A and B are shown apart, each in its own frame.
Chain A
């Protein structure tokens, strides 16, 4: 029985799960959950994920939510595992530490997606300026930290491409949803992003697909 990933093409967390799945040879069938129309709130989806969020990974009786958990799970099962997410305790701990920070970036960027685009466009709900200010500040603070961290480095851990670069690149891609050009304020991140896309074909494909999808939304 084929594994499934439930999600939406405009959801970066969905793309994170899909990109990792493909990269480690664990591709899953995509099942659309139309979150723009509120499909995640239907009882049928709530049964699968009580938290009513996407993406969701399903293989037989096993279901798993939270994109970073799905990414790590698939990586630990796949063949390319050790390079992307090394098992040595201190390296893995350092990766986990960065992922903890990226979670803050992810959740605050998602809030901005809802406040600045989805709520006004789809639900005719006003933007909450206080929420936007708080989320914007957090996003920029984290981008600033990695602007400094990546100075003189090719990848987040220095010499090798890991799951951190895959996830961080896709989080940067996601900022296009609110039309935020991160390169203007963070030139090191711009170079990092462009270099990764030139080198990693699957991430370049993600960039192109996501931007195509954004055009359709406009």
Chain B
């Protein structure tokens, strides 16, 4: 058993932070957590900038090595922690490339579409910037269209997960951003829709992974009510 000092700097508000935290639980290794309170601007302190000069979460420190950017962290953990099953970041070139494609898709497209609607409310609350109903409606349409795309992607390979029969770090990132449907208050509409059978099956499989479920439950029960209470008041 390796003895390592690994620390996760994170915020439960941040989807990429929750993804990294979930993978660390899956790794089943000892690690420290430091919550960076974004509402108090703790990401901008000199101390935190020593860990991540960009002043964003998540970030990790592994002994004396510091790293930012959630996708880089997820890959680094898979490359250095033998307890993480290989299917999370496959060694086969083509499978790995497909996982990478979905990590990129999540970071470049899916994440933005899923969080655009509630961001109008959050920015309005934080900075007093108002918005037109049409802007919000367009963002909501784009969010549903993105879910349509995910539904198609989930049908491309045999198996319930994004590239096949086993979960990957792309599934972990996508799932974390998928839960923005709660921030957008469309979880009931989503549940009632008959257009997303694959996403629903995938969501259920993701919640069978105890690390993913633990992070989701903590966020859903403790963080979500406060944030939605704040944003939509």
Q: Check B107 against A93 for contact (C-beta < 8 Å).
A: no
CA distance A19 to B100 in the complex (A): 19
Please tell me which stretch of B18-26, B75-83, B188-196, B218-226 contacts chain A, meaning at least 4 of its Cβ atoms lie within 8 angstroms of it: B75-83
Task: Please name 15 pairs of A and B residues whose Cβ atoms are closer than 8 Å in the assembled complex, sorted by A.
Answer: A50-B152, A73-B93, A76-B93, A77-B93, A89-B79, A89-B80, A92-B75, A93-B73, A93-B76, A96-B71, A96-B76, A97-B67, A97-B68, A97-B69, A99-B69
Residues of A within 8 A of B65 (CB): 90, 93
Q: Check B107 against A103 for contact (C-beta < 8 Å).
A: yes
Residues of B within 8 A of A89 (CB): 76, 79-80
Contact of A69 among B70, B72, B100 (CB under 8 A): B100
- Count of residues in B whose CB is under 8 Å from the partner chain: 31
Nearest CB of B to A95, in Å = 8
Knowing A51-B149, A73-B97, A76-B93 are in contact, say whether A103-B72 is a contact too (CB < 8 A). no
Contact of B108 among A62, A66, A73 (CB under 8 A): A66
Instruction: Indicate if B104 sits at the interface (CB-CB under 8 A).
Output: yes
Q: Check B69 against A96 for contact (C-beta < 8 Å).
A: yes
Knowing A50-B149, A51-B149, A73-B93 are in contact, say whether A66-B100 is a contact too (CB < 8 A). yes
Interface residue ranges, A against B (CB under 8 Å): 50-51, 53, 62, 64-66, 68-70, 72-73, 76-77, 89-90, 92-94, 96-97, 99-101, 103, 106-107, 145
Contact of B97 among A72, A96, A99 (CB under 8 A): A72
Binary contact readout B80-124 vs A (1 if CB under 8 angstroms, 0 otherwise): 100000000000011011101101110111001000000000000
| Other contacts beyond A68-B100, A92-B79: 15, CB < 8 A | A51-B105, A51-B153, A64-B97, A66-B104, A69-B104, A72-B97, A73-B97, A90-B65, A93-B65, A93-B67, A93-B76, A97-B68, A97-B72, A101-B54, A103-B107
Binary contact readout B148-163 vs A (1 if CB under 8 angstroms, 0 otherwise): 0100110010000000
Top 4 A-B pairs, shortest CB-CB distance: A100-B69, A66-B104, A96-B72, A73-B97
Name the residue among A50, A53, A90, A99 with the largest chain B CB count within 10 angstroms.
A50
Contact of A100 among B70, B100, B149, B153 (CB under 8 A): B70
Q: Check B100 against A93 for contact (C-beta < 8 Å).
A: no
Residues of A within 8 A of B112 (CB): 107
Nearest CB of A to B151, in Å = 9
Q: Check A66 against B72 for contact (C-beta < 8 Å).
A: no
CA distance A145 to B53 in the complex (A): 10
Q: Check B71 against A73 for contact (C-beta < 8 Å).
A: no
Question: In chain B, what residue has the closest Cβ to A46?
Answer: B152
Nearest CB of A to B119, in Å = 11
Nearest CB of B to A167, in Å = 12
Residues of B within 8 A of A101 (CB): 54, 69
Nearest CB of B to A198, in Å = 29
Residues of A within 8 A of B54 (CB): 101, 145
Nearest CB of A to B153, in Å = 6
Q: Check A62 against B79 for contact (C-beta < 8 Å).
A: no
CA distance A133 to B94 in the complex (A): 39
Residues of A within 8 A of B156 (CB): 50
Nearest CB of B to A43, in Å = 12
CA distance A73 to B69 in the complex (A): 20
Residues of B within 8 A of A68 (CB): 100, 104
Residues of A within 8 A of B97 (CB): 64, 69-70, 72-73
